[in-house]
Protein backbone atom coordinates (compact mmCIF):
# COMPACT_ATOMS: atom_id res chain seq x y z
CA UNK A 1 0.00 0.00 0.00
CA UNK A 2 1.34 3.43 -0.89
CA UNK A 3 1.92 6.08 1.77
CA UNK A 4 -1.13 8.07 0.66
CA UNK A 5 -3.36 5.02 1.18
CA UNK A 6 -1.83 4.28 4.57
CA UNK A 7 -2.40 7.85 5.71
CA UNK A 8 -6.01 7.75 4.51
CA UNK A 9 -6.71 4.50 6.37
CA UNK A 10 -5.09 5.85 9.51
CA UNK A 11 -6.96 9.16 9.38
CA UNK A 12 -10.33 7.62 8.58
CA UNK A 13 -10.30 4.44 10.71
CA UNK A 14 -7.56 4.30 13.31
CA UNK A 15 -7.36 7.89 14.56
CA UNK A 16 -11.11 8.24 15.24
CA UNK A 17 -11.10 4.95 17.17
CA UNK A 18 -8.14 6.04 19.29
CA UNK A 19 -9.44 9.52 20.05
CA UNK A 20 -13.14 8.73 20.48
CA UNK A 21 -14.59 11.20 23.04
CA UNK A 22 -11.13 12.63 23.69
CA UNK A 23 -12.67 16.04 24.39
CA UNK A 24 -14.19 14.61 27.57
CA UNK A 25 -10.99 13.03 28.86
CA UNK A 26 -9.31 14.61 31.88
CA UNK A 27 -5.68 13.78 31.15
CA UNK A 28 -2.63 14.94 33.07
CA UNK A 29 0.15 16.56 31.08
CA UNK A 30 2.38 13.46 31.09
CA UNK A 31 -0.43 11.38 29.58
CA UNK A 32 -0.96 13.97 26.85
CA UNK A 33 2.77 13.86 26.13
CA UNK A 34 2.63 10.06 25.84
CA UNK A 35 -0.26 10.30 23.38
CA UNK A 36 1.67 12.85 21.31
CA UNK A 37 4.75 10.59 21.32
CA UNK A 38 2.64 7.62 20.22
CA UNK A 39 1.15 9.72 17.42
CA UNK A 40 4.62 10.66 16.21
CA UNK A 41 5.76 7.04 16.35
CA UNK A 42 2.75 5.92 14.30
CA UNK A 43 3.30 8.70 11.75
CA UNK A 44 6.95 7.72 11.34
CA UNK A 45 5.98 4.06 10.97
CA UNK A 46 3.35 4.79 8.31
CA UNK A 47 5.79 6.86 6.28
CA UNK A 48 8.75 4.47 6.84
CA UNK A 49 10.87 7.20 8.39
CA UNK A 50 13.73 6.05 10.62
CA UNK A 51 15.92 7.99 13.00
CA UNK A 52 19.21 9.13 11.51
CA UNK A 53 22.19 8.46 13.75
Q: Does residue 8 lie within any of the structural domains?
A: yes
Instruction: Give residue 30's Cα distance to chain centre.
Output: 16
Q: How confident is the model at residue 53 (pLDDT cuts 50, 70, 90)?
A: low
Domain of 15 in residue numbering reads as: 3-46
46 close to 3: Cβ distance less than 8 angstroms: yes
Domain presence at residue 51:
no
| pLDDT tens-digit map of 3-29 | 889 999 999 999 999 889 888 989 899
Domain count, the chain: 1
Confidence tier at 41 by pLDDT (50, 70, 90): very high
Average pLDDT over residues 23-52: 90
Q: Which residues lie closer than 8 Å to 43 by C-beta, 6 or more apart?
A: 49
Residue 52 has pLDDT above 80, yes or no: no
Q: What is the structure's pLDDT at 33?
A: 95
Amino acid sequence: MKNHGRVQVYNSCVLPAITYSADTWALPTHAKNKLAAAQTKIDRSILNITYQE
